Amino acid sequence: MTYAKKRYLNFFAITIFTLVLPFITINGNHMLLLSFDRMEFHFLGFAFEMQELYIMPFLLMILFIGIFATTAIGGRIWCGWACPQTIFRVIYRDLIESKIFNLRRIKNKVKDVDYSKTENKIKKILSISLFGILSLIIATNFMWYFIPPEDFFRYMQEPKDHVFMVMFIVTVALFLVYDIVFTKEHFCTYVCPYSRIQSVLYDDNTIQAIYNTNRGGEIYKNGEKTIFKAKQLQEHEECTACEACVKICPTGIDIRKGLQVECINCLECVDACTSVMGKLGKKTLVDWGSTNEVINDKKTNYFSIRNIMYYVAIGICFVLLVISASKKEYFLLNVNKTTKLYNIKEDGHVTNNYLLTIQNRDKKAYTFDIKILDNKNFTLKRFKPFKLGIDKRVKKVLILETKKRLFLSDKKDTPIDVKIVMFAKENPKEVFKEQTISFIYPRNDSFK
């Protein structure tokens, strides 16, 4: 199977996965969702409030270190095999223009379409219109990662109340049409920053499309082409100068010139050379491998010191991510002191009032209660267990009282730390939260 067919199958799998992913839920949570409406971030079936986005730095570190590691090991494999820009461009150029409307030859991607004919102009308009419809579907699918499908289809029933959402989809669709139809591969060459850092990350062990100069001969010297016809090659040099690898390259480069920022590792040139050299009974001159493997006749070292450091860094970030994600907060508890520091009753008992704000963040309703830990001097007053529904928030008054005369200070009020724990009666071992609050005890001359 050619690399082109493998890429098309990979593109198909990625497209289906991307379309289906927003509809997959685990316990009501999405696999990947950043909802500004709900103020939640869903990842792999876990829901995190905006207050819990401390996991985001670890995700970003894994992403960026992963990009560097992937580039150092496999070159621009992302660009040629998984990048949305490449996938959309293949859909438009190879499927819509080439297969459906027969505007271009799929084996010559450098040559543009001749629009001097009226027939071709009409086909061009139809091809853009068809891709415009696909762009709306793509933009809608992109929106589902910010607005879940169940909310999106409900919002679309009243588009006037969600103008921003509609405008966002239309804007993204128009950008895609401009980018894919008119900017084309120039986006990869001149706009995408990834191409600018690839050469820094490459070494002799990086897997990429490489022209074998040992067998094919030097086609370029000092950046200039030295041969134009096959007869000018030496007898031991196998390149036929057919330039099939140049014609099929989507970015229009000559792979025989060596590493270039325009190369996206699509391996179209490998397929082209394999076909030509195969007819001569020879192995391809353009291969997918490392410089050590293709040119230097050495084994590719996937465990160089640099690569090992990438693996270790990703592993550490992943462990920290799991540890952070495991610390799920089932409910939020906020304790505020009232304006009055304390109250002294006629019998000498001292009370402090607090205002509790409790929010249930789990997908279950709980009955919450509270108790004091390790302090027999204080008791709870006027607090009863209460049931709190899913995603509900409530405020409760908490009164702490001490019946003992503590005789702490003659000069000033004394703060005393009191540890309390709020817990769910249904699951007290997991759904609980400890918090230390300050009880203000009056100075001695405050008592009558």
Locate the domains of the chain by residue range: 3-199, 205-294, 331-446
pLDDT score of 200 more than 70:
yes
Q: What is the pLDDT of residue 167?
A: 93
pLDDT > 90: what percent of the chain? 25
Task: Kindly report, residue by residue over 316-366, the tens digit of the pLDDT.
Answer: 988 988 877 666 677 888 888 877 888 888 788 899 999 989 888 777 889
Per-residue pLDDT, averaged over 11-32, amounts to 91
Please name the fold of domain 331-446: Immunoglobulin-like (2.60.40)
pLDDT score of 27 more than 60:
yes
Phi-psi region of 321 (alpha: psi -120 to 50; beta: other; left: phi over 0): alpha
Task: Kindly report, residue by residue over 104-119, the tens digit of the pLDDT.
Answer: 766 666 666 666 777 8
Task: Kindly report, residue by residue over 154-181, the tens digit of the pLDDT.
Answer: 998 888 888 899 999 999 999 999 999 9
- How far apart, in whole angstroms, are the C-alpha atoms of residue 301 and residue 416? 63
Q: What is the pLDDT of residue 230?
A: 44
Q: What is the pLDDT of residue 229?
A: 46
Model confidence at 40, pLDDT cuts 50, 70, 90, reads confident
